[in-house]
Structure 1
């Protein structure tokens, strides 16, 4: 009688490496998604256009998102830790504005990061990707001046600066500038219409693009950094009505 060979299959505990795994938590996933949604919404707010405070209501947020208040409350707590909002007992959640000095320091930090971003773009980005920058301002000329179409130009302006960061391919730079964007963006939108700054802004942008296209690393870094430092200097000298 033939004897069947017995095959010993490995036991799971013997073949599976020791992995530190946490059980999937749906509530935690909701919290993360709510956090991202609220952060994006706050970033898109124009919180410096008025001295009136911007308030959020936890109940209304949960209703609009169609979820329970627990993940909203947890997301708010995360945003509060990062300095975006502050919970006020019996009043609600206020979106925090920075002081003049804080904003200037944030713009200066952005200038340093964007200068490095421009340097990295000359070294890493593809020609086809750099070529996407110039069309952002193609519609603006003497018959379609930035100063006459401030809303459109402001949108192109912010997109330009965001794209510079994205073209580096650096996740670290993206994360470092993400929290600065809320305040830098708001200040750019307000000041761009003052003292014909839009006209100078588009000249600066086109000079930066030319340096990036030419792969002139040192010039691109300097132009990008100095352009944003100009915003910090302007806020320092001409910020009447912006801050409380």
Structure 2
């Protein structure tokens, strides 16, 4: 049986969901355990493996201008650089962002090191990608379809713990960190798309949820400027532990 086709629904015909994303991202660790017939688990593993990158279309002009404004007129304190220096530095940041983004895009078709890539399973539609990662509509789409507003981080495969006596059964066990919330909407959709499998998501709420290191952030995401006030995410308070279980 061929693997289920990934969702292509955009949600553009309905009002965009308003993501509950605090200004300071809180990263939550999860363990996902996928069990079922060996062939079905193998198909899911092949479909889920990807580069772990969302191929956004970046508005480099806007990013450069945001960097320049933040350097030339910092929200707090006095400017520490001349206007000419701010313009030069903003251009260098733009060039670095472009180079990083191109390197990330070049990995999309060949890199399969991320064992649970939501962009492979539930891809962001092209119309949303063209809006960029900070657009409120983009954030709303991710919130409605994935349940989190950023790509998963620190995704890694864990050793299987399936009882060896269960013949013709297999298990895929992965660990990942998600931004602010658990990806319950994505899990509900995957359960519908893969009815032969059991997908068990286990959030680790009892742990201190420090943000994972930047080393495993996607290259374009590392280069993104921080949001200016009033753009992109909404909400200012840090949410309590995510209990939005399906």
TM-score bin (small chain)? under 0.3
User: Per chain length, whose mean CA-contact separation is higher, i.e. which structure has more relative contact order (CA < 8 Å, sep 6+)?
Assistant: 2
TM-score scaled by length of structure 1? 0.24
Q: Which has the higher strand share?
A: 2
TM-score scaled by length of structure 2? 0.24
Q: Which has the higher helix share?
A: 1
Larger of the two Rg values belongs to structure = 1
